[in-house]
A = this chain, B = another copy of it.
Amino acid sequence: MPLIADTPSPPYYAEIFTSIRSAGDNGYHDMAQKLIAAVVNQPGFLGVEFAREGVGLTISYWESLEAIENWREHMKHAEARQMGRDKWYLGFKVRICKVERDYDFFKS
């Protein structure tokens, strides 16, 4: 996947997941690998951008709010949500956004 997600023209949706990890792995990396493998096949998935430097920022892009909701259901079954609260994070914030406008610049 490209580092900068190759999203279509707006409007589309973004889920911004901002997190602070707790110490230790506790199965986090295994689950993260599984979730990445699953999300790319999820209907309505447009791309994802990620960086962690003190704080972790994961921004996933989606065709619709319904697609975000379906992904949330998938994670429930994967038990990722509960593990996140119990083991992986000291805190997180999720923001559901409508992308209204975008522009970019790439050196040729």
A positions within 8 Å CB-CB of B: 3-5, 7, 10, 14, 16, 18-20, 22, 49-57, 59, 84-85, 89-107
Contacts and interface: CB of A to CB of B under 8 A. Distances in A.
10 contacts: A16-B16, A18-B49, A18-B59, A50-B53, A52-B53, A89-B105, A89-B107, A91-B107, A92-B104, A95-B102
Nearest to A86: B107
A53 B107 CA distance: 20
A96 B105 contact: no
Chain B CB within 10 Å, residue with most, of A4, A84, A104: A4
A53 B55 contact: no
A9 B47 CA distance: 27
